[in-house]
Structure 1
Amino acid sequence: MNFVEALEQHRDEIAGACVACGKCFVACPMTTAIGIDSAEPAAVLHGMVDILRGGEGTAEAVRWGGACTSSGLCADTCEYGIDPRMLVRLANYARIQRQNGPAVKANAMKSFRSMAKTVRVVSRLQLPKHEIERLQPEVGARVCAAKPDVVFYTGCNIHKTPHILVLCLDVLEHIGVTYQVIGGTSACCGINQFRAGDGETSGRAGLSTLSQIQAIEAKTNVSWCPSCQSQFDEIIIPNYEKITEDHSFSLQPFYEFLEQKLDLLRPLFRKTVNKKVALNERPGLPGVTRAVKNILAVIPGIELIELDVPRVGLMSNYLTVTPRFKDDLREKEFRAAADAGVTTLATVFHACHRELCHFEKSVSFEIVNVMEIIGESMGLYAEDIYKRIKMMDGVERMINECRDLIAEHNLDPDEARDILLADQLAARPLQGEFMERS
C-alpha cells in the first residue's frame, strides 16, 4: 500500500462510518460567519459524505468545508469515533482533486514555491548567515555528538519570526536539554501540497521529513508549528501507520514539552515580570493553551486575564477565508483587552504574531509572543526584528533598513520589495478607535 492508497482507504472508512447526525456542524463556529447556520445539519453532512465518495455534494457542504479554520470545537461531538475535522479535511481534498484534476500537481508546486520563497527572503531580511545556519541547519548536519534529548521540528513559517525560534532554543539550552533542529523548506510537512489536492507529493514530503526526524533517534520529537502538528497527527502519521504498521512515531507540541519541564523552568524564572497578560487564544490545540497558561502561572509578577471573546481557528491566518469575520474578531479582542486594562496581549503562535504585532502602535498594550515573556523572566532576549520592520512606514524604509542583509544574502532587492509590500498590505487597518500606547 502506498500513501495515496492509504489516504483513500481512510477517506472511505470515514465516509462509511459517518451517520450524518450533524452534531459537528452545530458545534462549528464558522456556520454563522458564512451564512449557512440555518441549513439542516444532517443534510450538510450527507453532502460531505457524498463529496468524500467522489460526488459533488451540496452547495452548503462545499461552502462549509471551504470555511473550516481547524478550530477543533467539533472534536468531541461525534459518538461514532470519527474526527470531524479529519472528515472535513479529506472532503476538501476529494473536492479539490475532482475540481482541478491533472492541475493539482502544478497548483501544489506553485503553492509550495511561493511559500518557500517568502520564508527564505523574509528570514534573511532579519538575520545574518551564521544565525540562519543555527536556526536552519543543512539536511544531514549533526549538531549533537550523541543522540540528543529532543528533535525540534520547526516547520517553515516560524523562520519569518526568527526571534521566537531563537528564544525556544535558548530556553532548551538553559534547562539542559540537548537538541537538534530540523525545519525550513527542506523538511516540509506536506500541508501545502495536501491543500492543493496533491496527495502523492504531500505524502512524499511528509514521509521524508518523518524519516529525517526518526534517523536522529532522539528521546522526544517536539514540534513548534500547529499546522505541521495537525498535518502529522491527521494526515502523515495515520497513513504512515497504515503503510508500515509501525505505531512508534509521535510529535509533541513545544509548549506541552515545556510544561512537562516546569520543575526545571521554575527556578530559572528569577526576574519578576509585572504584566497583566491576555492570551491571543486559538482552540485548535487545547493542550497547548493549557500548557501556556500553566507556564505563565509560575512566572513571578504575571497576572493572567481571561478575555470574554470567541476563540476560533488553529492560527489567525486560518481565518483569511472569512476576512470580515476575521477583522471583527480581532477588533473584539483588542477592545476587550483595552477594557480589561491589560499591559500585554501575548500571541501563542508565529502566524498570529505576524498578523497582530504591528498593531501595537495603534493600541494601549504591547503585543508580544509568549516566548518573549518566558525569556524575560529567564533573562533571555531576542529582538523582534519582524515587528520593528513591519511597523515602519513605507516599504522603501523597510528596504533601506535591510540593505546590508540584502547584500550579504545576495537577495534581489526588487523581489524583497515585492514580498515586503505584499506583507505590509496584507493587514487591514483597525476599524475602531484605540488608545495609543504611553
Structure 2
Amino acid sequence: MDFGEALNIRMDEFAAACTQCGKCFEACPMTGPAGIGDAEPKMVLSGIVDLLRGNAGNAEAESWASACSSSGYCIEACDYGVNPRTMVRLAHFASTRLRDGDAVKGNAMKSFRAMAKSVRVISRLQLDSEVIDKLQPPPGRSRPQTSPDVSFYTGCNAHKTPHILILCLEVIRAMGFTYEVVGGPTACCGVFQFLSGDGETSGRAGLSTLRQIDEIGAREKLSWCPSCQSQFDEIIIPNHEKMTGDSDFALTPFFIFLERHIDQLEKLLVLPVRKRVALNERPGYPGVVRAVKRILQSIPELEFVELNVPRAGLMSNYLTVAPKFKDELREQEFKAAADAGVTTLATIFHACHRELCHFEERVAFEIVNVMELIGQSMGVKAEDVYKRLKMMSEVEAMMDDCSDLLSRHGLDPNEARDVLLADQLAAKPLQGRFVENDRR
C-alpha cells in the first residue's frame, strides 16, 4: 500500500463513520466568518461526506472545508468518536485534488518553494552560518554513537524567528538532556503539498522526515510547530500505520514535554520576572496552552492574567482565510490586555509571534514569546532580531541593518528585499482607542 492508497482508505473510513449530525459544524468558530453561519448543519456534513467519497459535495461544504482554522472545538462536539477536524481537512484535500486535477503537483511545488525561499532568506538575515547549521542540520549528517535523550523537530517556518528555537535548545540543555535537531525545509512535514492537493508528494516529504526523526533513536521525540504536529498526528502517522502496521511513532509538543518535567524546569526558574502577563492563546492543542500556563505560574514574581476573549485557529496565520474576523479577534485581545493593565502579551507559537510582534510599538505593553520569559527567569537571552526588523518602517532600513549578513551569506539583495517586503506586510497596522504610544 502506498501513501495515496492509505489516504483514500482513511477518507472512506471517515465517510462511513460520520453520522452527519452536524454538531461539529455548530461548534465551529469559522462558519460565520466563512459566510455559511445560516447553513443547515446536516446538509453541510452531507457535502463533506460526498467530498470524502471523491464527489463534488456542495458549495457550503467546500466553503467550510476551505475555512477550517483547526481550532479543534469540533473534536469535543462529536459524540461518535470521529475527529471532525481531521475529517474536514481530508475533505478539503479531496476537494482541492478534484478541482485542480493535473495542476496539483505544480501548485504544491510552487507553495513549498516559496516557503523554503522565505525561510532561507529570513533566517540568514538574522544568524551566521554556524548557528544556522545547528538549527538546520543537513540530512545524513554523522551522529554520535550514543542516541540522545531528545530529538527536537522544529519544522520549517519557525526558523524565521530563530531566537525562539535557540531558547528551546538552551532549556533542553540546561535541564540536563542531550538532543539532536531535525528541521528546516529539508525536513518538511508535507503540509504545504497536502494543502495543495498533492498527496503523493506530501506523503514522500512527511514520511522522509518521520524516518529522519526516528533514526536518531531518541527516547523522546519533541516537536515545536503545531502545524507540523497536526500534520503528523492527523495525516502522516495514521497513514504510516496503515502502510506498515507500525503504531509506535509519536511526537510530543515541546511545552507538554516541559510540563512533564516541571520539577526539573522549576529548579532553573530562579530569577524573578516582575511582569503582569497575558497569553495569546490558540485552542487547537489545549494541552499546550495548559502546559504553558503551568510553566508561567512557576516563574518567580510573574503575575499571570486570564483574558476573557474569543479564541480561534491553530496559529494566527490559520485565520488568514477570514481577514476581517482575524483583525477583530486581534483587536479584542489587544483591548482586553490593555484594559487588564498587562505589561506583557506572550505569544506561544512562532507564526503568532511573527504576525503580532511589531504591534508592540503601537500598544501599551510588550509583545514577546513565552520562551523569552522562561529564558529571562533562567538568565538566558536570545535577541528577537525578527521583531527588530519588522518594527522598522522601511524595507531599506531592514536591508541596511542586515547588510553584513546579507554579504556574508551571498544573498541576492533583490530577492532579500522582495522576501522582507512580503513578510513585513503580513499584518496591517492596528487602529483603535486602546492603542498607546507610551509603554507601561
TM-score range, shorter chain: over 0.9
Q: Post-superposition shift, 1:131?
A: 1.1
Q: Post-superposition shift, 1:393?
A: 1.6
Q: State the distance in 2 between where 1:154 and 1:282 align.
A: 19
- Answer whether contact 1:142 1:180 (CA < 8 A) is retained: no
Give the match for residue 355 of structure 1.
Answer: 355
Give the match for residue 438 of structure 2.
Answer: 437
Q: Post-superposition shift, 1:35?
A: 2.1
Give the match for residue 150 of structure 1.
Answer: 150
Give the match for residue 175 of structure 1.
Answer: 175
- Answer whether contact 1:278 1:346 (CA < 8 A) is retained: yes
Q: CA RMSD in A?
A: 0.9
Q: Post-superposition shift, 1:141?
A: 2.2
Q: State the distance in 2 between where 1:132 and 1:407 align.
A: 16
Q: Post-superposition shift, 1:142?
A: 4.0
Give the match for residue 194 of structure 1.
Answer: 194
Q: State the distance in 1 between where 2:212 and 2:265 align.
A: 29
Moved segments of 4+, more than 3 Å: 142-145
Greater Cα offset, 343-352 or 416-425: 416-425
Give the match for residue 28 of structure 2.
Answer: 28
Cα distance change on mapping 1:142 and 1:375 into 2, 3 Å:
farther
**Pair 1:289 & 2:289 matched:** yes
Q: State the distance in 2 between where 1:71 and 1:391 align.
A: 29
Q: Post-superposition shift, 1:136?
A: 1.2
Q: Post-superposition shift, 1:144?
A: 4.3
Matches within 5 A, 1:109-120: 109-120=109-120
| SS across alignment from 1:237 | helix
Count of aligned positions: 438
Matches within 5 A, 1:203-218: 203-218=203-218
Q: State the distance in 2 between where 1:371 and 1:44 align.
A: 41
Q: TM-score, normalised by structure 1?
A: 0.99
Q: State the distance in 2 between where 1:425 and 1:232 align.
A: 30
Q: State the distance in 1 between where 2:154 and 2:19 align.
A: 38
Q: Deviations over 1:34-78 (max 9, x none)?
A: 221111111110111111111211111111111100000101121
| SS across alignment from 1:368 | strand
Q: State the distance in 1 between where 2:142 and 2:85 align.
A: 37
Give the match for residue 56 of structure 2.
Answer: 56
- Answer whether contact 1:14 1:82 (CA < 8 A) is retained: yes
| SS across alignment from 1:80 | coil
Structure 2 unaligned blocks of 5 or more = none
Q: Deviations over 1:283-303 (max 9, x none)?
A: 001110010001111111111
Q: State the distance in 2 between where 1:128 and 1:428 align.
A: 30
| SS across alignment from 1:426 | coil
- Answer whether contact 1:144 1:180 (CA < 8 A) is retained: no
Q: State the distance in 2 between where 1:235 and 1:425 align.
A: 31
Matches within 5 A, 1:86-125: 86-125=86-125
Q: Post-superposition shift, 1:145?
A: 4.5
**Pair 1:400 & 2:400 matched:** yes
Q: State the distance in 2 between where 1:136 and 1:97 align.
A: 31
Q: Deviations over 1:184-229 (max 9, x none)?
A: 0111100000000000000011001111111111001000000000
| SS across alignment from 2:152 | strand
Greater Cα offset, 50-59 or 326-335: 50-59
| SS across alignment from 1:105 | helix
Q: State the distance in 2 between where 1:393 and 1:49 align.
A: 48
Give the match for residue 302 of structure 2.
Answer: 302
**Pair 1:140 & 2:137 matched:** no
Give the match for residue 44 of structure 1.
Answer: 44
Matches within 5 A, 1:60-99: 60-99=60-99
